[in-house]
Structure 1
Amino acid sequence: MAPAVFVHYGGPTLDDDQKLVVRSQAMVSFRILSPPTEPPTTYLLAYKCQQLNHWLSAPTSLSFSFLKSDISRGPLHTRSKDPEQQTSSNKSGHQPADQVVLQTPAKVVQIANSGRKYKSLLPRTNELGQPPCYTHTSGIDANTFKDYLWRCSSYSSYLDEGFALVGFRKASYFRPDMTKPACVYIGWLLTSGMIDAFRGTPDIKYPYYEWNAVRELQKFLDMADARALHEVVYPVVILGIFDLVRFSPNTKHHLAAVEQFIKVRGGIQNMPQVMQEIVIMTDILQCIFLNTALAFMSVDEPVLHITTSDTEGNHLLSSPLLLCNDEGFCNVKDFVDIEQALQLARILGTTFDVISNFYDQGEPLEGIKTPELGYVHLAEIADVPVEVSNVSGLVVQTCALASRIVVRTIADLTSFDDPANALDMLTLFNNLRFLRLQSWAGLPYVYLWVNLVGVSASTVRERSYFVSEIIRPAFSYGCYQMDAFSTVLKNFIYLKQAIARRQAIANISSEGTPFEGDIWTA
């Protein structure tokens, strides 16, 4: 038996109103409606459709047009084995999956007060393709599985759009496994959470589904000793990523379980290469989002220059956090309008100089608050309104806002989520929400840097969106360009840690704060 390292839920604690909502919306329950004595035609149609769907192999269902072409005119009579059960189902509006009373095909449709023989609405057995069933082969309710397939497709499309940034397409590196009950439930959570976060849904809570997901996962882990390491780790990583979006404290428990499983089984090298990179990526993201310690690597010193052979696609590999193959920022002219290219190159170059000097000296760059020394005046770009039709102008303004947050944080030795950065963060958030992902084509690591700044400067509602947009490239092109992508993430971790160390030293120093005043307005 596997060690009980996973979070155990006793089930959600809900009041009566919440239970009513859960029962009415839960996809894992069947909704068998008992028709009235003389049901209207629309009700009869819906009821027949529900009854027929239980006999069709998941996730196929008959269309309404099929039913409408051969509908009976008389009232529909159904029989339940237990009258009290039927009465209770009328009150709740549905029956749980394990209490559903299925009727034989001959009793599904009965026409009252009629001596005529009507052609059966049910397809023949040989037309079903599979024996009649109302659950997927994994044991999941057919409606749940069908909805999950749709969400999984949407999530895959969400990830695949990330390749628009790098100019090449490959199969998604990260797709939930739909062959096991635990992965179906947990994958549903992941896809729902990511899509809702991307769309800006304010409340991302699924207590009922989370309970079922964890319950199914615990069954899966109970037989962990008989499974391959990656089969045990994979669903826990999925659930951990879902909770990352919601900033749930359970994330630490999930990924601690991953760490323990991997260490007990001999290390991460015993996993397939793809799973190794997914686990490492998740470990780094958790460190950024939740300030946890890295489990599978360390961040000793920043690496500001690397040489990589990964040149597939047409995009800029460099960002203010990393220069690849000694390329500068002059090539941004290939991806934005020529009028804004010079401004963007100066913004990115200035930010890189500020960060690299802080890495080298441990101090803010001398004269960092004096724009006349040759550094671009960020206020003249960040605070000037830009026409919504000027896409390149909005991209440049967004980068100026991110740069101002970084420079201010380093200069004042504050945290990224300091109130002084709040207005810039909100404007940056609104710009990113407005711009299509194609607007950043060719600038994948600049886009990553902007979102890293955003997630560190945000506090509440906006964070889920930034996390969602960081996970999009992380599990699309990020895993294909692991060297460059992970180096950018680790450099950002080092930057946050270095600022925190210098801030602590400054707080205990008798000399006070190194800078005073504020010149960040135009």
Structure 2
Amino acid sequence: MGAPRLWLSSGDVGDEEEATEATRYLLSSPLLRRRGDDFTLLNEFITDKTIARDFIQSLEETFTVVELLCRYGYAPADDLKAISAFLHSDSRLNQLADSSSSLSNIPGLILQTYALAARIFFNSVCNRHRLDHESNNSDMRALCDLMRFIGVKRWRGMPYVYLWVILIGHAASTTKERHFFVAELMRCAFSYGSYQTDVFARFFENFLHVRRAVSSPLVPSI
């Protein structure tokens, strides 16, 4: 497995027709980003402007940390303090992850689900432990419950954001919840994974690199 490649050009997506089709949905995610993409296409699928704004900011924050992990193989000590700020009790991330959105507010629930995945990720980065560490168990279970309730169709237009959440959930899961995440991974593989094979494969390669870097012992936790 080579070095992670986080940026996509138009030529990476496929032929001209496939590249044009890919502009109709959010191809970018925390693990793989189209050059020049600022995640604002999310507004097409999350029409609540406040939720979309918070979602875009969360995607940017996660991508920034993924970039660090891919560049160094771990998060440098100087950056860990900034990352840990996401985990402070009154942080925006915690407010999003612990929000009590109405069950009819699907965009709010989608954002909450993403925030739970982000908190699992940041917690493991800051504490240098595996994603399936017991400290992530409650967030993983809440994430799983929300994913079951929301359903894949509500994530229309953001397939690789959905896949990122599923991969974080799978990596953090215990035996009981893992069956659900495996089933969703297979669903993704047999849908867009079957016609975007290069993008899909690069996404997974990047995730494997990030998962290994998350628990790197090269620098102490904070």
TM-score by length of 2: 0.87
Q: CA RMSD in A?
A: 1.7
| Alignment correspondent of 1:16 | none
Q: 37, 44, 53: which one pairs with 1:342? A: 53
CA contact (8 A) 1:422 1:457 kept: yes
Moved over 3 A (4+): none
| Alignment correspondent of 1:301 | 3
The answer to whether the aligner puts 1:514 opposite 2:221 as a matched pair is yes
| Alignment correspondent of 2:85 | 370
Cα offset, 1:371, TM superposition = 4.2
Q: 173, 178, 203: which one pairs with 1:458? A: 173
Cα offset, 1:514, TM superposition = 2.7
Supply the distance in 1 between the matched residues of 2:142 and 2:134 (Cα, whole angstroms). 14
Percent identity over the alignment? 35
| Alignment correspondent of 2:206 | 491
Name structure 1 gaps, 5 residues minimum: 1-298, 507-512, 516-522
Summarize the alignment of residues 405-484 of structure 1 with structure 2, pairs less than 5 Å apart.
405-484=120-199
Q: 55, 66, 70: which one pairs with 1:355? A: 66
Summarize the alignment of residues 103-142 of structure 1 with structure 2, pairs less than 5 Å apart.
none
Deviation string 1:435-480 (CA, Å, 9 cap, x unpaired) is: 1222100010000000000000001111011011011011121120
Q: Secondary structure at the match of 1:368?
A: helix
Q: Which has the higher contact order (CA 8 A, sep 6+)?
A: 2
Supply the distance in 2 between the matched residues of 1:328 and 1:486 (Cα, whole angstroms). 23
Supply the distance in 2 between the matched residues of 1:474 and 1:397 (Cα, whole angstroms). 24
Supply the distance in 2 between the matched residues of 1:349 and 1:363 (Cα, whole angstroms). 16
Cα offset, 1:315, TM superposition = 1.1
Q: 20, 37, 41: which one pairs with 1:331? A: 41
* Matching residue's letter, 1:414: H
CA contact (8 A) 2:25 2:41 kept: no
Q: Secondary structure at the match of 1:416?
A: coil
TM-score by length of 1: 0.38
Aligned length: 206
Supply the distance in 1 between the matched residues of 2:121 and 2:214 (Cα, whole angstroms). 11
Deviation string 1:398-452 (CA, Å, 9 cap, x unpaired) is: 0000011111111111000001100100110000000122210001000000000
Supply the distance in 1 between the matched residues of 2:54 and 2:98 (Cα, whole angstroms). 14
Q: 305, 316, 321: which one pairs with 2:26? A: 316
* Matching residue's letter, 2:5: V
Call closer, same or farther: CA 1:439–1:413 in 2, change over 3 Å. same
Supply the distance in 2 between the matched residues of 1:393 and 1:474 (Cα, whole angstroms). 26
CA contact (8 A) 1:302 1:494 kept: yes
CA contact (8 A) 1:305 1:326 kept: no
Supply the distance in 2 between the matched residues of 1:477 and 1:371 (Cα, whole angstroms). 32
Cα offset, 1:390, TM superposition = 0.1
**Higher relative helix content:** 2
Supply the distance in 2 between the matched residues of 1:493 and 1:334 (Cα, whole angstroms). 30
Summarize the alignment of residues 254-273 of structure 1 with structure 2, pairs less than 5 Å apart.
none
* Matching residue's letter, 1:345: I
Call closer, same or farther: CA 1:471–1:352 in 2, change over 3 Å. same
Summarize the alignment of residues 213-232 of structure 1 with structure 2, pairs less than 5 Å apart.
none
Deviation string 1:182-233 (CA, Å, 9 cap, x unpaired) is: xxxxxxxxxxxxxxxxxxxxxxxxxxxxxxxxxxxxxxxxxxxxxxxxxxxx
| Alignment correspondent of 1:224 | none
Structure with max Cα Rg? 1
Supply the distance in 2 between the matched residues of 1:445 and 1:371 (Cα, whole angstroms). 23
Call closer, same or farther: CA 1:466–1:371 in 2, change over 3 Å. closer
